[in-house]
Structure 1
Amino acid sequence: MKTELSKKRRVQIAHLERVFWIEHEIRAGRYPNTRTIARHFEISTKTAQRTLDFMRDRLRLPLGYSGERRGWYFTEPTYGLRAVELTEGDLVAILITERLARAYRGLAIGRQVEQAFAKVLDAMTNIVSIDFDSLSEAYSFEANATVQISPEVFQQLGRAAKERRRIEMTYYTAMRGEVTRRRVDPLHMRSYLGEWYLIAFDYYRDGVRDFNAGRIQELTVLDETFGWPQGFNLAEYLDSGFAMVRGREPIEVEIAFDEYQARWIRERGAVHPTEQREELADGGLLLRMRVTALDSVKRFVMQYGSHARVIAPEKLRDMVREEIKAMRAGYDAERE
């Protein structure tokens, strides 16, 4: 099997070499034809003609034949084929994209990625061979579990946001377990950890809100258009939240990580745009940031167990205490 793959790879590389040599000769004004191509590469004139056909029909290069010069030329003088060199890192990036498409193929964006990637790969692998099986032996990829999104809903949301068209939707709010009918102005589509959110001005709440796109049960794009909300700054809005949870007033948060957990926190990038870090004398790390809601911060802190401690605000400290108390009560009840 590997021998067959190696032979196929050599054939594809030879084909690629002919394509770029012909392109170079044309740009040099030498009008190559099947005889000069066959003589240069020691191939048949039929093989040379197949390469020219590939350049014209598959690569869609503007090839024309000059009877006077008895050779091929570009009908658009400035047109040229640019060589693309792929490094090992490029191939790894392609592999991750291919695996990402597989992991998210059941979701709306996953299907689009897979379809788009298939088109690119189909065009590329006619002249470049990529052995995904060999790469997969060295690299693997795991995607987050995400909410299913209808491909039609995903595309409609994106189109409505680009065209500034108002929408009506039936939306399920998981926190309250209720379904409501909403009329909103779609402003932006935001991806967070694989989940897609619609940021929109909500007439039901009279303000900008975030909606998990996977919880939209029905959607109608209206003919009505809208303008950008006066005074609304998207970048500032995105920075104000933590894990896609937002409030109204800014809150200063301080979290201390012990020496053990600080080793991993230092390795990671900032968890929030406003984050500031301070090294502690005991080897720990103090993290400061400004958010507008505390529920998601509480969940963030608690995932580190005893290795993370809230310093401020006191409200967040109380929230963590209450959660620990409730958790303990649940475990104690199992003993009875």
Structure 2
Amino acid sequence: MHRIHWFDEQIRSGRFPNSGSLARQFEISRRQAQRDIEYMVNTLRAPLMYAAKYRGYCYEDQTFRLPHLYMTEEEQRVLKYLAHRYRHYDYDQSDAVKRVAHLLERFTMEEHLPDQQQFPVFAAQPRQLQWFELLTHAAADARKTHIYYKDHEGEHQITFCPVKITSQFNADYVVGYETDPLLQTAIRLESIVQLKALDEHFECSQDAWISSWEDALPVRKPFTAQIRFHEAQQSEQWQGYRIREQQGQICWIEFYDADVFLQHLYASEWEELISPGWLRRKLMKRTEEIAQRLSIQHQAEKE
């Protein structure tokens, strides 16, 4: 928006700015500058007109004024969540990513990022944003919560004392305990089905809180799954995972947590898991176990 305001001032001063002058002023690419100009036309409804004689833009309607800009509460919550995710990112280009987290936390765009810099994309699901916000407030107020969640062991309903929210391997967790502060556990936010903050408060001495979750996360390179789909993918992500390369219907997809990635394989449509072999064997073993349990259940029902 700082660039757009500068562009607007240049027009009103009769200097006929263009994408080149905008790019030079802010040390960005002409492609990025042209996107700013397109944003003014398509989103801000600016009546821009290109004057070939002066090789720059002017306003066709001189009464036009840029709209007052503000950020809604929902947008603030999304940025707060993304700042949290970027702050806990410890993989490729982590220093640059954490600078982005700092910028998001300040809700400003005073610094400009080069176009060639690629940052991870995190899916901000509405329900997960809601859990993140509720648990953040509950931890800050030391309020107990009632959590209903599902994991590989089944369904659980517990009264939980949330202490902090953290991230590991591109996944969010709430760390806390049920009754004993030393018997801590972590619940993945994606696994939460229902969540309610209770009126009851809890006490937790930070001196007694000894947790491996406090340690720095290890830097870890992602695994790569080679998957053939029924048709070519039209985006750079599949189920929130980065597609590193694509050749026709075959994609090379990066992931960190094998168990979580398997859950997406269970629920999604695909033709063939080409590699790695260890992931294919793990998937086969899991499906055989499920089939065996269903067979035992069916046999019991017949008897």
Higher Cα radius of gyration: 1
Give your verdict on TM over 0.5. Answer: no
TM-score, scaled to structure 2: 0.39
TM-score, scaled to structure 1: 0.36
- Considering fraction of residues, name the structure with more helix: 1
